[in-house]
Amino acid sequence: MRLEDATVGTIAVGDLRVRRLGYGAMRVSGARNAAGVRDRAEAIKIYRRAYERGINFIDTANVYGYGESEEILAEALHPYPADLVIATKAGFRPGKIEPGKTSLPPLGDPGHIKEECDKSLRRLRLDCIDLYQVHVPDPGVRYEETVGAFVELQQAGKVRHIGVSNVTLEQLAIARSLCTVVSVQNAYNAGTRNSESLLAACEEAGMAFLPWKPIQLDGTPAAAVAAAIADERASTTQQVALAWALAHSPAMLPIPGTSKQHHLDENIDAAFIELSKEEIARLESAAAPA
């Protein structure tokens, strides 16, 4: 079954319209073949499989796989189908995560942002990025300056739409005072709902909300509830988590990622699961919004 046959519908990303389940490409460059060896050909198959199943929104970033995620996307699908929307990001310092750290250091310097945009354009074989997102605020750079670089790129015709990621309500307000923001990407799922106020802001303003980690419920009370529902439905906990996200808000555009084709298919199949009101209530009660 293709995604357009599900009842989840579509969502606006600026003046573009996509189906309401995307693919997050953070892990695609690590795809492995049947022998367990990293395999670029397998990564290409995953991108192509995503589009074949009806996904037409792909979210990547300059730092995913040291640029390989973008390169492989171009190798897999360029020249791109007319309905495919590509989102990428900049705002971290490229490189390897240092021992003891959980992420790369932020780097919101305007010169760096502009340089990384040109690199992404080359890797993706694009003249203009559909959605360019501020990956993370840099505490060492005024957020106005970082977002301002994205605005200049948009004015130069290199960026069609601007989105923000990992933001607070205050940072979102700053960005919106400088440009039209069409999307917000923050960590969010049935068990981790600290960004509920950001989701509400998206609903009110007609922005898309892209939850990252939409299926990672481990360590939250919602995990046990989702697992119980999954057992009752003969599905997976991750599928229940995705079905909940899609039912929770029409602004939601989940972007689960994977480096395995069968997990990709399972994620897409989740769009065909319609949870009952009782099941949704059980998940809602498992984690009160923060």
Summarize pLDDT for 99-144 with one digit per residue, the tens: 877 789 999 999 999 999 999 999 999 999 999 999 999 999 999 9
Quick one: CA torsion of 188, 135, 239, 72, rounded to 10 degrees?
Answer: 180
Q: How far apart are CA 266 and CA 154, in angstroms?
A: 36
pLDDT tens string 190-232? 999 999 999 999 999 999 999 999 999 988 999 999 999 999 9
Q: Does domain 16-185 have CATH number 3.20.20.80?
A: no
pTM, two decimal places: 0.96
What tokens appear for 225 in the block?
A: 């509830």
More confident residue, 34 or 80: 80
pLDDT over threshold 90, residue 40: yes
Provide the annotated active-site residues.
Answer: 64
- CB-facing half-sphere around the CA of 126: CA atoms within 13 A: 29
How is the beta sheet containing 57-59 ordered, strand by strand? 23-24, 57-59, 85-90, 129-134, 159-165, 181-185, 208-209
Helix (H/G/I), strand (E/B), else coil: 54: coil
DSSP line for 70-125: HHHHHHHHPSPPTT-EEEEEE-B--SPPPTT-SSPPB---HHHHHHHHHHHHHHHT
Reply yes or no: is the peptide bond before residue 256 cis, omega within 30 of 0: no
The closest of 259, 254, 211, 253 to 25, measured between CA atoms, is 259
Q: How far apart are CA 9 and CA 246, in angstroms?
A: 10
**How is the chain split into domains, by residue range?**
16-185
* Burial zone of 248 (CB within 10 Å; 0-12 exposed, 13-18 middle, 19+ buried): buried
* Burial zone of 157 (CB within 10 Å; 0-12 exposed, 13-18 middle, 19+ buried): exposed
Count of other CB atoms within 10 angstroms of residue 205? 14
Helix (H/G/I), strand (E/B), else coil: 192: coil
Q: Residue 137 carries which DSSP code? A: -
